[in-house]
Structure 1
Amino acid sequence: MVALLYSPLNEFGPPLRDLIFSPFLSGPLLLVVTHAPDAVRHVLRNLARRLPSLLHAPLQNLDLSTATKVLRVVFALGVVRRLNRALNVIGANAWHLTASKGWDWPNEIAVVTGGSSGIGKLVVEKLVALGLRVAVLDIQDLPKSMENNTRIHFFKCDVTSSESVAGAADAIRREIGHPSILINNAGITSPMAILKMSESYLRKIFAVNSLSHWFTAQQFLPHMIQMNKGHVVTVASIASFVALPTAADYSASKAAALAFHESLTSELKHCYHAPNVLTTIVHPNFVRTPLIEGWADHLEKAGVRMLTSEQVAEPIVAQIKSRRGGQLIIPRSMTLIAGIRGWPTWLQELIRDTLGRSSLWP
């Protein structure tokens, strides 16, 4: 998305933002300025003596009441922020306080669709580094760097075909075993206006980006439900929340992936009573992959900050490793956009107009 959606604090990066809003920093500072103001002034006076004369007066005459008000606000925001994060984690994990138990990475099997390139390839490599065995479902052959890895098993599969997915699933169960992790990563896009979109491509993009999730889940979920253990990761997009010109097909198919994730999460708890089968939804911003080659340069000129595949694969695998489900918005600074549909209509349209003009493919 374009730069207007980025807060000035985003320039500092998540680690510094977390430090600034940490109640463990602002709390002690607030305690000092409210209970030991004389000591604080003494420190500031000593500091002023060591600084250029230009700064003497501001430091010596600093009004601590202003600093106190600011620290109170920062401390309150930090506490609310921490509480919100904790509730998000608990709520996304069937209200369990602790991480899911029973995971042993060398004995786990993961299925990754679209694992031969891009984000999927890096996810596969990182899972293997954890010790997992990984089944790659893709119509593209494995890259040579993966061919001789005994923990990577390739199954040529058209994920838009339920028969092809069923055949690959049978082979996986027969040759490797029952998977406990399913990562629906495969996706395609091709910027095109609604009136220019052919029926064949429209059916294909929905089949890859949405329908394939049903096909893979129907094959691999039953055993996870039976064991009450598993993790289904759905790779959607920031486009799930904001539809832009020439991307109606992509946005609609990714919004469908989000709806799939939400229903699946609810069904696992209430239909199948398998709350320990975890679910994670991933919403990356634009990622520089072969998927948008030729469009990426235009987006960057429009102010879009492109992600790398590494920046998306790393948090996906970290989420799996945490043994918790959840929602990943990448970068985290884009979290605000997830609530756009609850904003006033005029503000939604203002955002869409600005983004639409900036990102429109010439």
Structure 2
Amino acid sequence: MSSILYSPLHELGPSLRDLIFSPFLSGPLLLAVTQAPDTVRHIVRHIVLNIARTLPSLLHTPPPSFSLSTATTVLRAIFALSIIRRLNQALNSVAANSWHLTASKGWDWPNEIAVVTGGSSGIGKLIVEKLVALGLRVAVLDIQDLPKSMEKDARIHFFRCDVTSSESVAEAADAIRREVGHPSILINNAGITSPMAILKMPESYLRKIFAVNSLSHWFTVQQFLPHMIELNKGHVVTVASIASFVALPTAADYSATKAAALAFHESLTSELKHCYQAPNVLTTVVHPNFVRTPLIEEWSDHLEKSGVRMLTGEQVAEPIVAQIKSRRAGQLIIPRSATFISGIRGWPTWLQELIRDAVGRSSLKL
């Protein structure tokens, strides 16, 4: 699984990857190598060769023997890729924000209220803490009690709620509006999983996982979205998964619920623009890979032994809150090196099956 979702460049870290694939680095280097006086070209040649020698040690691969002409060809390729990458990122961002170039206006964090489902533990707890640090008031919907570290924070309000019940969500929503105010941010984070083959899946658990991972999104949005539409301001965050794109053996239930979460996000985005004329109500969908949280603690060690690189809750919560802070909508795939997997269903069938076979064999070894 890890060999598919992680490219070798993942070893470099996002900051170094962004630097290498920045046109503001490759462009001037390419210009210097091809147009500058011989003295400058000689200096740049050494810089490029040093970069070429450094990368193999970071990627654990043999060092290449680069001539200046080879280095120039590589720089041309990197520069072209970096331009395409930047253009693609810009178009993605603009498209996700109803073709607006600027960030949404009218946000004042100390006066904003967020609702986080499943906010008492795991990723949800980290999201709550980061939102509070940003100055927001946060309403936590969970069947678990708040951890003691959060109980005395005046900006955190706990509402015991079974998100699988529309009645329970409605009661909690009424209490939030009455005691805290109208939320402008909704983060549908609650989720469960229990790896099991299709033929062994009991109906009771099947109904439960669809209720928690999918149906709850309808219940919460039906309660909190109308006020956002009225103001044409808000942000709905849907926490899906890499499993939205790739279904694994013994995880048909989880993959199906996360694919449903993605479809929910896409329809919600379209409805906000075309049914309700509320394009400034932002929508973000999040697709993390395996995350070491209480949700999969029982299988974490097995996953890591099989070569899966587990994300930390921090690595997921941080970009979610950063996205909210940016006042822009979007799609987050975590880690970014797995972004290509989102297009798998457009690949030729034979290639899709090769990927699924590889992933399937790997996952069944757990």
TM-score interval, smaller chain: over 0.9
* Partner of residue 68, structure 1: 72
Q: Select which of 300, 304, 308 maps to 2:308.
A: 304
Q: What's the CA shift for 1:298?
A: 1.0
Matching residue's letter, 1:148: K
Counterpart-to-counterpart distance in 1, 2:42 and 2:149: 63
Superimposed CA distance per residue, residues 235-293 of structure 1 (whole angstroms, 9 cap, x where no aligned partner): 00000000001100000000000000000000000000000000000000001111112
Letter matched to residue 133 of structure 1: R
Q: Aligned-pair distance for 1:34?
A: 1.2
- Partner of 1:305: helix, strand, or coil? coil
The letter for the 2-side match of 1:24 is: F
- Alpha-carbon offset, residue 169 of structure 1: 0.3
Unaligned runs of 5+ in 1: 48-60
**How far apart are 1:46 and its partner, in Å?**
9.4
Aligned with 1:177: secondary structure?
Answer: coil
Cα–Cα, structure 1 residues 130 and 41, in superposed 2: closer, same or farther, change >3 Å? closer
C-alpha distance in structure 2 between counterparts of 1:150 and 1:113, whole Å = 18
Structure-2 residue corresponding to 1:30: 30
Alignment of 1:106 with 2:110, yes or no, is yes
Structure 1: how far apart are the matches of 2:322 and 2:143? 27
Matched ranges for 1:1-16 at <5 A: 1-16=1-16
Asked if the contact 1:238–1:285 (Cα under 8 Å) also holds between the matched residues in 2, the reply is: yes
CA distance in 1 between counterparts of 2:194 and 2:46 reads 63
1:241 aligns with 2:248: no
Alpha carbons 1:180, 1:229 under 8 Å: kept:
yes
Q: Distance in 2 between matches of 1:46 and 1:182?
A: 52
CA contact (8 A) 1:191 1:361 kept: no
Question: Which whole-Å CA distance do the structure 2 matches of 1:292 and 1:70 have between them?
Answer: 42
CA distance in 2, matches of 1:45, 1:182: 52
> Any conservation in 1 of the 2:306–2:365 contact (CA below 8 Å)?
no
What is the SS of the residue equivalent to 2:283? Answer: strand
Q: Distance in 2 between matches of 1:84 and 1:300?
A: 33
Q: Taking structure 1 as reference, are residues 353 and 32 closer, same or farther at Cα in structure 2, changes over 3 Å only?
A: same
Report the counterpart of residue 352 of structure 1 in structure 2: 356
Compute the displacement of 1:43 (Å).
3.5
CA distance in 2, matches of 1:141, 1:17: 41
Contact preservation (8 Å) 1:89, 1:326: yes
- Cα distance in 1 for partners of 2:193, 2:73 equals 49
Q: Hey, what's the Cα distance between the residues in 2 that align with 1:146 and 1:46?
A: 54
Counterpart secondary structure, 1:278: strand
* AA matched with 1:21: F
Counterpart for residue 189 of structure 2: 185
Aligned-residue offset at 1:358: 1.2
Q: CA deviation at 1:302?
A: 1.1
| Structure-2 change in CA distance of 1:353 and 1:173 (3 Å) | same
Q: Distance in 2 between matches of 1:204 and 1:341?
A: 27
Q: Residues 43 and 215 (structure 1 numbering): CA distance in 2 closer, same or farther, change over 3 Å?
A: closer
TM-score where L is the length of structure 1: 0.94
Local SS of the residue matching 1:294: helix
Are 2:339 and 1:330 aligned?
no
> Which residue of 2 is the match for residue 217 of structure 1?
221
User: Residues of 1 paired with 2:125 and 2:192: CA distance?
Assistant: 15
Aligned residue for 1:160, secondary structure, equals: coil
Report whether the alignment pairs 1:280 with 2:309.
no
**SS in structure 1 of the partner of residue 292 of structure 2:** coil
Whole-Å separation in 2 of the counterparts to 1:46 and 1:170 = 66
**CA pair 43-333 structure 1, distance change in 2 beyond 3 A:** closer
Looking at structure 2, the residues matched to 62 and 105 of structure 1 have their Cα atoms a distance apart, in angstroms, of 52
Contact 2:45–2:68 (8 Å) recurs in 1: no
CA spacing shift, 1:33–1:182, aligned 2, 3 Å: same
The one-letter amino acid of 1:15's match is: S
- 345 and 34 in structure 1: CA distance in 2 versus 1, 3 angstrom threshold: same
Count of residue pairs the alignment pairs up: 349
Question: Match of 1:179, SS?
Answer: coil
More moved, 310-319 vs 65-74: 65-74
Q: Which residue of 2 aligns with 1:148?
A: 152
Q: Distance in 2 between matches of 1:353 and 1:110?
A: 41
Give me the whole-angstrom Cα distance separating, in 2, the residues matched to 1:29 and 1:168.
58
Which residue of structure 1 aligns with residue 129 of structure 2? 125
CA contact (8 A) 1:246 1:361 kept: no
Q: What TM-score does the superposition give when structure 2 sets the normalisation length? A: 0.93
- What residue in structure 1 maps to residue 232 of structure 2? 228
Instruction: Report the alpha carbon displacement of residue 68 of structure 1 after superposing the two structures with TM.
Output: 2.2
Write the distance in 1 (CA, Å) between the matches of 2:42 and 2:341: 45
Hey, what's the Cα distance between the residues in 2 that align with 1:326 and 1:44? Answer: 38
Q: Which moved more, 1:259-268 or 1:297-306?
A: 297-306
Tell me: CA distance 1:250–1:68, structure 2 relative to 1, closer, same or farther (3 Å): same
Aligned twin of 2:58: none
Alignment correspondent of 2:139: 135
* CA distance in structure 2 between the partners assigned to 1:205 and 1:84 by the alignment: 35
- After superposition, the C-alpha distances for 1:26-52 in whole angstroms (9 at most, x for unaligned) are 1111111111251245437999xxxxx
